[in-house]
Amino acid sequence: MRCSKKKENAAPEPLQVKVDTYVLETDLNLLYDAGRKCLDLVEKYRNQWYYDLPGWRKLDDWRQRFKAAERVASKTVFGGGKDKEKRVGAAVLDYLQVGRELNAKISASLWALCDQPVAPADWDTLAWFQSSWSSADGLFLY
């Protein structure tokens, strides 16, 4: 058996690292799932439990707009072409803008519930999804 001593001034060997290339896709999906679930809850609270949540007449339009922004961002991330990084940044920023607008609208609806008799379990559910929504938005560094 042959032993060799390491030289004190020798350069360290390079690291071999595996990188997850699907992180952005996962973050895009997390934001979409949080927003979609919040929209589902708004619809349920209005239509099944009859809470008064004004300003949601165009709920389906919000669903389509949010989904469209997610699809554009996702397709841009996984597509190719010229100036991809610039296009990805623009698409993700647009998606985040739509998400922030939706978050503001959902937050306003939570405030509107303050003047109504709401079951504690309903409050807990709404608050949890709204906080998940805000956390998902914070995943992006753009």
Extents of the domains making up the chain: 27-136
Cα distance between residue 74 and residue 90, in whole Å: 12
Cα distance between the two ends of the chain: 54
Which amino acid would we find at residue 73?
A
What's the pLDDT tens digit per position in 1-53?
Answer: 444 555 566 676 765 655 454 556 678 898 999 899 989 989 998 998 888 98
What's the pLDDT tens digit per position in 58-87?
Answer: 999 999 999 999 999 999 998 989 999 999
Does residue 91 contact residue 72 with C-beta atoms inside 8 Å? yes
Instruction: Provide CB contacts within 8 A for 41, sequence distance 6+.
Output: 125, 126, 129
pLDDT band for 107, please (50, 70, 90 cuts). confident
Cα distance between residue 30 and residue 63, in whole Å: 15
Does residue 66 contact residue 36 with C-beta atoms inside 8 Å? yes
pLDDT at site 83 = 93
Locus of tokens 């927003």 = 35
